[in-house]
Structure 1
């Protein structure tokens, strides 16, 4: 794998609801090679960019910033300036599992997925994340 191929593969794996076996048939690489390069790349990215990936919850939700978020929401027409974020639900589709498919099956959507719930602030950042939850 070149660095570009490995990064593209990692992005594909995170973006589409596919497992490594499906990616091996799509790209013509062995599943074991895909697993090895993905695991190595995730570890490398975490070690190299850990300082950027660390969560700054103390600054993000400081009193000053909460007031700023509330003002931003109020400036867009909300009647209160104390609302700093809103709930957001997201579903990530998954492949049809070979076992225990009822765990991730969503009858309403008629699809297999994992659900997440988050609190999003006006700048688009997620301040609280709950999940995944089955189906």
Structure 2
């Protein structure tokens, strides 16, 4: 298979797929609990192909030369294997982010000279629609979007990566509930490197020594309105990063497949975020990073904090 074909089928070149399989520390000889054997490259390919499009397993059988049920078992093996590893990895890579704090702040300040000094990222909540659950419908219903959903909290950095992911929580929950549940505020406040380095969000997040938000109220003056407008213009980058995930892995946008509790919907979205970050790195950036003129890390830098345990 050529690199062009591999990118069309799996989002990555053959070399990148091989490198990813090694970085993810998939076992060299995979054996599912059903006794099905596979190798890291095939297993990763099955996972990526499934996430890319909402296809039936039988539609993928010819590509891999495997029975539909076999592909299903391999896919869920990879999902289960990566679930525990990605939880902490996607939550907050403190080493990588700390090293790049000044770069992030400078990139945002250079893009908008009127911006608040010291801002290094943008926080928001994203609503992920799911199929209407058989139980707990009220808890999962998001009145704003008028869908049953799960919510995730993210922080997007100028290099185009989703550098913090927490969730899921019930679709009805407020963003401040997610912030408190995530513990992100306390993690940042407990690290001196993040003091007076700010994450920008909507007014619900408030202003502290690690968060900032727009000026609000009837007494907002003209300079403050100008600052709000400037920050609002660059904060749109958060939505760009959200859009990258279903653009590359459209299976996640197919609500009928996002069924609770039979499908590990939350884990699949985490995988989508992780692989989207990897696509951004492989392609040298995305709209977000080009907007801020801030290059993403290399694969070596990104995987430096990936769990070593097998």
| Match status 1:6 vs 2:46 | yes
Greater helix content: 2
Match in the other structure for 1:123: 159
| Match status 1:100 vs 2:140 | no
Partner SS, residue 96 of structure 1 = coil
Match in the other structure for 1:58: 95
Distance 2:75 2:102 in 1: 41
Q: Answer whether contact 1:105 1:112 (CA < 8 A) is retained.
A: yes
Distance 2:168 2:113 in 1: 30
Residue 59 of structure 1 and its aligned partner are, at CA, apart by 2.3
Partner SS, residue 61 of structure 1 = helix
Match in the other structure for 2:103: 68
Q: 1:127 to 1:54 in 2, by over 3 A?
A: closer
Distance 1:130 1:119 in 2: 9
Residue 82 of structure 1 and its aligned partner are, at CA, apart by 0.8
Q: Which has the higher contact order (CA 8 A, sep 6+)?
A: 2
Residue 42 of structure 1 and its aligned partner are, at CA, apart by 2.7
| Match status 1:77 vs 2:82 | no
Residue 96 of structure 1 and its aligned partner are, at CA, apart by 0.8
Distance 1:132 1:43 in 2: 17
Q: Output the TM-score relative to the length of structure 2.
A: 0.31
May I ask how many residue pairs the two structures share in their alignment? 114
Structure 2 portions without partners, runs of 5+: 1-37, 59-67, 172-310
Q: Answer whether contact 2:123 2:153 (CA < 8 A) is retained.
A: yes
1:8-27 matches, cutoff 5 A: 8-9=49-50, 11=51, 26-27=56-57
Residue 67 of structure 1 and its aligned partner are, at CA, apart by 1.0
Residue 33 of structure 1 and its aligned partner are, at CA, apart by 7.0
Distance 2:77 2:166 in 1: 27
Residue 73 of structure 1 and its aligned partner are, at CA, apart by 0.2
Distance 1:75 1:58 in 2: 24
Distance 1:84 1:33 in 2: 41
Q: 1:77 to 1:113 in 2, by over 3 A?
A: same
Structure 1 portions without partners, runs of 5+: 17-22
Match in the other structure for 2:168: 132
Distance 2:158 2:78 in 1: 32
Q: 1:87 to 1:78 in 2, by over 3 A?
A: farther
The Cα RMSD (Å) is 3.3
